[in-house]
Amino acid sequence: MNVTEPMFLDGYYSVKYIYLNKLIPKTEQMNLNQLNFHHLFYFWRVARLGHLTRAAEELATSQSAVSVQIRQLEDRLGESLLIRKGRRLILTDTGQLVMAYADNIFGLSQEMLGRLKGRSAGVTRLRVGSVATLSRNYQENWIRPALADPGVVLTLESGLLEGLLVRLMQHQLDVVLANETVPVDTDRPLHFVFLGSQSISLVGPASKWASRSLRIPEDLDGVEIALPGPRHALRAQFDALCSTAGVRPRVRAEVDDMAMLRLIARDSGWLTVLPEVVVQDELRSGLLVTVGQSADLQERFYAITTPQRHRIDVLEQLLTGQKRPAHD
């Protein structure tokens, strides 16, 4: 991975950065403009990778040069930032504090460069992450106004929620779409917007289940079924219903990815528990039919952002369900 280093004026930033005010005693804050962000950048890369050699390779420099940069930063702050444990470098308590601010500083710098790149090209860049368990059809429906806007360039990523939230906090994503919330954490402030909910259905091939219906969960004992994987938010709801009713379906497949669960619902012949939006095309065409529903099974959708994010008009409109004005 190539990493672009920040630009400097005579090796130093002349602007006093508020993030670092807490690190320097008040008696020394008059010299804050002498803090070398080149040193901080090298520390940030080493701390990110946890390995001096890898950081040196990434930065296209020698290990000794990286070590000197970090040592000079430690001397300037008057604290040790890293300690060696075996072959890895571990952050000290002070190192963790400095790293948190460095993440913000360089994360915001990356965001700034992305925004400026978009502006110079006359477009708005929107970076959307979504959990792998979220329906692709739901994602497409949510971003549809942006898809139709020639002034918007989209970056779409999929992954585990925790990894996406890390990227969100590092300003590498603008919003994360999820089907669950996470506990409140003062060290990781997040803003949740409830987008809506939908009922979960039991679907099956029309050739076998047309004009038939089953109660969920009462009629599912011993029935062959495909389910969302254990990490999916609605799986716990379904398992709780079955446990309370003393019902044990014959689980044939557990699938985290909604795109794969859609294929299984379409091609396996088994009944499948999923949001209808996942198989909306198959239901419209008559290939699949809804066999049952339960009011106790609901999937909820959330948009997760950071409170300090910069305003992006197209994202604000997606969050509020408003349409963006057409371009002239």
From first to last of its 328 residues, the chain has per-residue pLDDT tens of 444 443 333 333 333 333 444 454 444 443 556 677 888 888 888 888 888 888 888 888 888 888 888 888 888 888 889 888 877 788 898 888 888 888 878 777 776 776 666 555 556 888 999 998 888 878 888 999 998 888 888 889 999 999 999 889 888 899 999 998 888 777 788 999 999 888 899 999 999 999 899 999 999 999 999 999 988 888 989 999 999 999 999 999 999 888 899 999 999 999 999 988 889 899 999 999 999 999 889 889 999 998 866 778 889 989 987 543 333 3
Q: What is the structure's pLDDT at 116?
A: 67
Q: What is the structure's pLDDT at 326?
A: 35
Q: What is the structure's pLDDT at 244?
A: 94
The model's pTM is 0.62
Residue 292's beta-bridge partner residues? 202
Q: Are 152 and 123 a contacting pair, CB within 8 Å? A: yes
Q: What is the structure's pLDDT at 88?
A: 77
What is 18-108's CATH topology? Arc Repressor Mutant, subunit A (1.10.10)
Same CATH fold assignment for domains 122-196+302-320 and 197-298? yes
Q: What is the structure's pLDDT at 14?
A: 31
Q: What is the structure's pLDDT at 232?
A: 85
The CATH number of the structural domain formed by 197-298 is 3.40.190.290
Look up residue 14 and give its DSSP letter. Answer: -
Amino acid occupying residue 3: V
Q: 279: part of which helix (H) or strand (E)?
A: none
Length of the chain: 328
Per-residue burial over 64-73, b = 16 or more CB atoms within 10 Å of its CB, e = otherwise: eebeebbeeb
d(CA 258, CA 274): 8
The CATH number of the structural domain formed by 122-196+302-320 is 3.40.190.10
Q: What are the distances in angstroms from CA 203 to CA 36, 291, 293, 318?
A: 61, 5, 9, 30
Q: What is the structure's pLDDT at 86?
A: 76
Domain ranges of the chain: 18-108, 122-196+302-320, 197-298
Collapsing DSSP to helix, strand or coil, 9 comes out as: strand
